[in-house]
Chains A and B, each alone.
Chain A
């Protein structure tokens, strides 16, 4: 903070119970903040609504993965066993979706799972190893038993003093300022 180069990242408010942060989140949402987030050691039921978040779109990544997997499986088997090198085994048909199904089914699940995982990483912008939050020692408790709200300085409604007053008076939280390098 003393250095002139450091610019403010935002204000960090600390809470002790799930109920406190839940109500504070509702207040922040209603106050019209947009660049803010709630940090909790576990997902709190109903917090998405309290924050006013839209439904997570991870499912689309899953669907694309699964779609790709199924048709890759079918096409691969058709290409290998019927098109590129047809070889009759046991008098069975060269290709039918029936015998190709188990493998295509597994491919569907495999690529759906990868789609889900990497979709979630992409939406969350993970991995992200630098985060101004990590410079705050108190914040380490956010993976233990404390709850935090961070309102970022980039928020159009952010004003250091006004937001600090809002967090301390309205949300009854201990507040510290975070800086970026």
Chain B
């Protein structure tokens, strides 16, 4: 307390205790501790559980690629697809995986632009998740074409003329989708790599082994931490965040155009783009929590990925989950209010038709489960949050299944109605895609820093030259 009348300097009052923000790194850890804790994860030998997890994941991945080889050599009929449901698990899986990616970009780009500093602890892993999810997503649309060589060779997907010198048809949203998804994958990879460069330099400077030093040295490009470099780097990072934000919104909008631009009842709705984007972020945050909650405790990173991070992500789930719930309700309202009997039937059929179970699985996972997060006690119970995050993943897969299959299996003419059942190849290819995803994620944990080291350091008080912990003496 300053004695009255003596102190001439005007001092800003301290904020009341309840408004003081919790520090982003707990226990006042030093900069060196942050380096050791995070770099230590990929420098030390992996814990015992890593190997069985890796072997199971690789097994899944091999299963998926074998089944794809079976599909390519036999024909797309090995999946359960047939008229009228020509799209089913394949496109469901595609939208599911691409949606998961969106949380990574939201965390890395949108929260960066909004100056949400807590993102620094989770963005690296979330962006890795994005890239691996996009890799899984890309497989399904490519192989659902059956004779892949026609799709990959000039004519359909890539802007080159086919055998009859006909160019791809740019009026089709399917082609927009090719550009959207490939741009998304590429830009996400660039953004991730730019963020990794300073941390790769940290690993280069710490590593003892020759191979590691060579590869970290190669990919860190000779980074020194020069401020003249940081200046351009930070501008580039900001610009990439600014580019990724409209990109991520456009990608799932364009994915939704695959459906919305058609005339199928249940698909032809204008609510699709925002509804898909919200759903994508919802599902992605579900997956981020599914991955990070075990990661933080297995690698003792609770001081960096704190309970506050978990809680904030639960709030995002609550917000986007509510938007998704609203969209489900609004779809029904418009189906009735729009006055099209086909549209109304499509929605009645969703809820009470032969696929009623998938609809109610979706509703209970996506509409009910996020609302537990109104309660702080539940938001801060990591086990509970983890279980809910699994339900979100399941619910969002069912959402895409409901949209795709229930709309296709009964459209205008009752004579061409049908019922889709997946084949074992459908099921195992999807299960195998988790193997690919987890293989990539486990390799990421093994070789790269799971948290952005330099960014986390940057948000500690030690990094601030005007903070006492940053070494500031007296005030300016």
Q: Hey, which bits of chain A sit against chain B, CB under 8 A?
A: 16-23, 25, 37-48, 51, 53, 55-56, 58-59, 62, 76-77, 80-81, 84-85, 87, 89-90, 92, 99-100, 102-103, 105-107, 109-110, 112-114, 116-117, 119-121, 123-124, 126-131, 133-134, 140-145
Q: Give the interface segment out of B162-170, B294-302, B335-343.
A: B162-170
Contact residues, B127-172 vs A (CB, 8 A): 159, 161, 165-171
A41 touches B202 (CB 8 A): yes
Given the known interface contacts A87-B166, A102-B179, A126-B221, the answer about A56 and B243 at a Cβ–Cβ threshold of 8 Å is no
User: Closest approach, in angstroms, between the C-beta of A117 and any C-beta of chain B?
Assistant: 5
Interface of B is mostly: helix
User: Closest approach, in angstroms, between the C-beta of B223 and any C-beta of chain A?
Assistant: 7
CA distance A47 to B229 in the complex (A): 12
Within 8 Å CB of A106, what residues of B?
176, 179-180, 183, 247, 250, 254
Given the known interface contacts A62-B239, A109-B243, the answer about A144 and B171 at a Cβ–Cβ threshold of 8 Å is no
Within 8 Å CB of A21, what residues of B?
465
B169 touches A114 (CB 8 A): no
Sampled A-B contacts (9; CB under 8 Å)? A18-B463, A39-B225, A41-B225, A43-B234, A58-B232, A58-B235, A106-B250, A117-B194, A143-B202
Within 8 Å CB of A25, what residues of B?
227
Nearest B residue to A147, CB-CB? B225
* Residues of B in contact with A, size category: 35 or more
Q: B198, B225, B228, B454: which has the most chain A beta carbons within 10 Å?
A: B225
CA distance A161 to B75 in the complex (A): 78
Interface of A is mostly: helix
Within 8 Å CB of A116, what residues of B?
236, 239-240, 243
Query: A80 contacts which of B170, B205, B222, B234 (Cβ < 8 Å)?
Result: B170
> Using a Cβ cutoff of 8 Å, how many contacts connect chains A and B?
212
CA distance A71 to B191 in the complex (A): 24
User: Closest approach, in angstroms, between the C-beta of B233 and any C-beta of chain A?
Assistant: 6
Contact residues, B226-283 vs A (CB, 8 A): 226-236, 239-240, 243, 246-247, 250, 254, 257
B31 touches A102 (CB 8 A): no
B470 touches A17 (CB 8 A): yes
Within 8 Å CB of B30, what residues of A?
145
Within 8 Å CB of A99, what residues of B?
170-171
B217 touches A129 (CB 8 A): yes
CA distance A128 to B250 in the complex (A): 36
Given the known interface contacts A18-B465, A90-B171, A117-B194, the answer about A109 and B222 at a Cβ–Cβ threshold of 8 Å is no
